Amino acid sequence: FWGTIFIGAIIAMIVAIPLGLMSAIFLTQYASSTVRKWMKPILEILAGVPTVVYGYFAALTVAPAVRDFAVMLGVSNAASDNALAAGIVMGVMIIPLVSSMSDDSIAAVPNAMRDGSLAMGATKSETIKQVLLPAALPGVVGGILLAVSRAIGETMIVVMAAGYTANLTANPFDTITTVTVQIVALLTGDQDFGSPHTLAAFALGLTLFVTTFFLNYAALRVVKKYREAYE
């Protein structure tokens, strides 16, 4: 059930976390100053694109391509509006959130830690994996949490690319909806406060609140653990 109602956000994070983290590592550790000067603003422009533009792109370009790919794999019942298309486009949309905060956190790690690791004979990749990323983990986790919240609360892309039908499935090629879309649908129109639709909307809102609360709690535990290790 949990995988179904948040399937779009899960797919988005599978896309955004690796790409956002790798882009931050590239910009801080491998890119020249000229490349960084141009690439960082270009990457952050993605955060300013209206979600309706992403929605049109997902509905008109990504969703048909995903459906054709599913048919090529032998999935005969692949929907034209599907969760995978919405998740991919949401992942692209939130890459700047993960990348920007990870970039700042990695750049804030003291040079002494980086230089000490290299002086001990570690390679650059080993220094990144064993020193920089653990030291920058609190900021990286913060960026990921912000991106998760952004993906969970997204409505426009899901409506345009994944459909409007509540479907209990874990198949990414099926039509789905999200909690936020259902809340809007249930509260649209003149409803009595005690009507089943209104109560269902409040129940979904409570589910969303509890889920994000536990996500934040888990992140704070991780941050506390690594802060103690590097203080």
Count of beta carbons in the 10 Å neighbourhood of residue 92: 20
- What global pTM score does this model have? 0.76
Measured CA distances, 10 to 3, 6, 94, 110, 224 (Å): 8, 6, 12, 33, 25
Residue 1 reports pLDDT greater than 50: no
Please give the average per-residue pLDDT across 168-191, as a whole number. 72
Count of beta carbons in the 10 Å neighbourhood of residue 78: 21
Please give the average per-residue pLDDT across 74-96, as a whole number. 81
pLDDT at 226: 61
Q: Residue written as tokens 């949990």?
A: 2
Residue 109 reports pLDDT greater than 60: yes
DSSP-derived secondary structure letter, 173: T
- Whole-number Å distance between alpha carbons of 138 and 200: 36
Residue 84 reports pLDDT greater than 50: yes
Please give the average per-residue pLDDT across 168-174, as a whole number. 71
Residue 148 reports pLDDT greater than 50: yes
pLDDT at 6: 67
Residue 203 reports pLDDT greater than 70: yes
- Whole-number Å distance between alpha carbons of 52 and 59: 10
pLDDT at 3: 46
